[in-house]
Amino acid sequence: MVEVKETDGKRFAVDPQEGQLEIKYGLPADVLFCKSCVISNQRPSSSVEFKHTKDSRKSTIHFDENGICDACNYSKRKFTEVDWEERDAKLRELCDRFRSRNDSYDCLVPGSGGKDSVYAALRLKRDYGMHPLTVTWAPHLYTDVGWYNMQAWLHKGGFDNYLFTPDGEAHRKLTRLAFENLLHPFQPFIFGQKNYAPKMAAKMGVPLVFYGENEAEYGNTVSENESAQRKLEYFAQDSQNAEDLYFGGVPFSELPDKGVDLRSIDPYMPADPDSLRAAEVEVHYLGYYLQWTPQENYYYSAENIGFKANEHRTEGTYSKYNSIDDKTDPYHYWTTLVKFGIGRATYDAAQEIRNQHIDREEGVALVRRYDQEFPRRYFPEFLEYLDLSEEQFFAIADEFRSPHLWTKSNGEWVLRHQVS
């Protein structure tokens, strides 16, 4: 156990050689890696907090007494304890309760036309006789393959879709603030995307919403694991009152000083749980009812709508078909590497180990090979989007490296702890 000292509200790990190393974000002082997958105990358990400021403390993934992470323990049950026939029957019951008799929409499937939303909407339509309305919160910068897949989802899958594109000027400014103040360039996207589907469900009078997998598969809070339904309070977050909220680490009232027009904030606001309740909105995880395997969803989507993987490997990892619709996506994962020492290959390998596609040894090798690769392909476009120079980009990022995770060796940043 690393000794921890607290001074002036900051925490420090006491290192026998190097003295006191600051621990940012309330992360665990001891860096541990799950004995079953490759995730470390530095992984935050939620990335959506409306009161997020630079020094906000994170709750992190829980490891059990055997050194196994909650996500692995949760996933194991998919293969051992869960009776999938019984779950299928439950899904049929749920669909029977909502199925339309007059051809109107009877469920809402949010998604981007990625493999998971393709799988969800098509299975509901073809195997459960539903009439889904699909809704999409647009990515920051579409990739060609992402736009192709989005169109294939609607054209070949046969779905109506509402594509919401937020005010591009406001979205850029919020993204820049979130990068500068939180090193979390995806925060505005996550706020908007998370709340869009339940708000649309209420507005369109289509109360049944299907999300894909439960976040517990990735180690988010496990308290709701046993339920198919997401509590509506989840969408309300901290408050309904804009005055209490932070966007990109900036209090609502100070946004105009940062050049953000307050009229553009509405789409990012938490949903009002009272209005969701009045509309009898129910949000369910399809992953509770159907065995959810990203690789299988990819094969299914390729076969059924001609879903395309990338021609090239995604930078920072080894995969070609996960989350490929947004040019800014690689920078989201790169910032988690900077803040928590966890890059994109770690997320991919951990998931594939849990789904029994690769073993831990292969996962470790993949993480060591790809996790720290910097995503160069869309870097000029991302810098232009944020209106930052390359020097500014790296100077900001360096402020967010926690000294208990990173050290400099010959002018290069090196992780103090790597999975092995």
Q: Which C-beta is closer to Zn ion: that of 37 or that of 358?
A: 37
DSSP string computed for 342-369: --HHHHHHHHHHHTTSS-HHHHHHHHHH
Q: Helix, strand or coil for residue 409?
A: strand
Q: Helix, strand or coil for residue 104?
A: coil
Q: Which C-beta is closer to Zn ion: that of 72 or that of 122?
A: 72
Pairwise CA distance, residues 340 & 31, whole Å: 10
Q: Which C-beta is closer to Zn ion: that of 68 or that of 388?
A: 68
Shortest distance, CB of residue 337 to Zn ion, whole angstroms? 18
Pairwise CA distance, residues 146 & 46, whole Å: 26
Q: What is the largest CA-CA distance in the chain?
A: 72
Q: Which C-beta is closer to Zn ion: that of 48 or that of 69?
A: 69
Q: Which C-beta is closer to Zn ion: that of 37 or that of 228?
A: 37
Q: Cα angle at 403 between 70 and 72, to 5 degrees?
A: 10
Shortest distance, CB of residue 34 to Zn ion, whole angstroms? 3
Pairwise CA distance, residues 137 & 163, whole Å: 6
Pairwise CA distance, residues 284 & 377, whole Å: 36
Q: Which C-beta is closer to Zn ion: that of 305 or that of 353?
A: 353
Shortest distance, CB of residue 353 to Zn ion, whole angstroms? 7
Shortest distance, CB of residue 363 to Zn ion, whole angstroms? 10
> What is the phi/psi pair of residue 5, to 5°?
-115, 145
Q: Which C-beta is closer to Zn ion: that of 58 or that of 284?
A: 58
Pairwise CA distance, residues 124 & 91, whole Å: 10
Shortest distance, CB of residue 45 to Zn ion, whole angstroms? 13
Type of residue numbered 265: I
Shortest distance, CB of residue 367 to Zn ion, whole angstroms? 13
Shortest distance, CB of residue 41 to Zn ion, whole angstroms? 10
Q: Which C-beta is closer to Zn ion: that of 34 or that of 276?
A: 34
| Cβ atoms of residues 138 and 164 within 8 Å | yes
Q: Which C-beta is closer to Zn ion: that of 218 or that of 235?
A: 218
Judged on CB neighbours under 10 Å (0-12, 13-18, 19+), 9 is: exposed
DSSP string computed for 259-321: T--GGG-GGGSPP-HHHHHHTT-EEEEHHHHS---HHHHHHHHHHHH-----SSPPTTSS-SS
Q: Which C-beta is closer to Zn ion: that of 245 or that of 353?
A: 353
Pairwise CA distance, residues 292 & 296, whole Å: 8
Shortest distance, CB of residue 70 to Zn ion, whole angstroms? 8
Shortest distance, CB of residue 352 to Zn ion, whole angstroms? 12
| Cβ atoms of residues 38 and 364 within 8 Å | yes
Shortest distance, CB of residue 38 to Zn ion, whole angstroms? 8
Q: Helix, strand or coil for residue 73?
A: helix
Residues at the contact surface with Zn ion, assessed by CB under 5 A: 34, 36-37, 69, 72
Q: Helix, strand or coil for residue 34?
A: coil
